[in-house]
C-alpha cells in the first residue's frame, strides 16, 4: 500500500511535466482517476449546464464510482506512464 501511494505521488508529479499536453478526453480521465484515488466516490452536487467544464469533470469522476482508491491509483499511474 505504501509503495502504491509513493508511486502514485510520483506519477502526480510526473503528470505536471509531460512532454505534450494530452487531449481533453485524456485530461478528463487523469482528473477523474486522481479524484477517485484521493477522495473516493463523487458526492458533490452536479454542476449546471452553463458550466460545461465543471460538468464534464463531474461526469468523468462519477463514471468511476465504485472503483477502489488502490485501483484508481494504479490506473492513474499506468495512464501517466503511457503518456511519458
Please give the model's pTM, rounded to 2 decimal places: 0.91
Question: Which residue range is the domain that position 12 belongs to?
Answer: 2-83
> pLDDT (tens digit, 9 = 90+) per residue, 40-77?
999 999 999 899 999 999 999 999 999 999 999 999 99
Number of domain units in the chain: 1
Q: At 42, which CATH number?
A: 1.20.80.10
Alpha carbon of 19 to those of 16, 43, 53, 57, 83: distances in Å? 9, 33, 24, 23, 8
Residue holding cell 500500500?
A: 1
Mean pLDDT of the chain: 94
Amino acid at each position: 500500500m505504501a509503495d502504491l501511494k509513493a508511486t502514485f505521488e510520483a506519477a502526480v508529479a510526473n503528470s505536471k511535466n509531460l512532454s505534450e499536453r494530452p487531449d481533453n478526453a485524456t485530461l478528463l480521465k487523469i482528473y477523474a482517476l486522481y479524484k477517485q484515488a484521493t477522495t473516493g466516490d463523487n458526492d458533490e452536487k452536479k454542476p449546471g449546464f452553463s458550466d460545461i467544464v465543471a460538468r464534464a469533470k463531474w461526469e468523468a469522476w462519477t463514471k468511476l464510482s465504485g472503483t477502489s482508491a488502490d485501483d484508481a491509483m494504479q490506473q492513474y499511474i499506468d495512464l501517466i506512464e503511457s503518456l511519458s
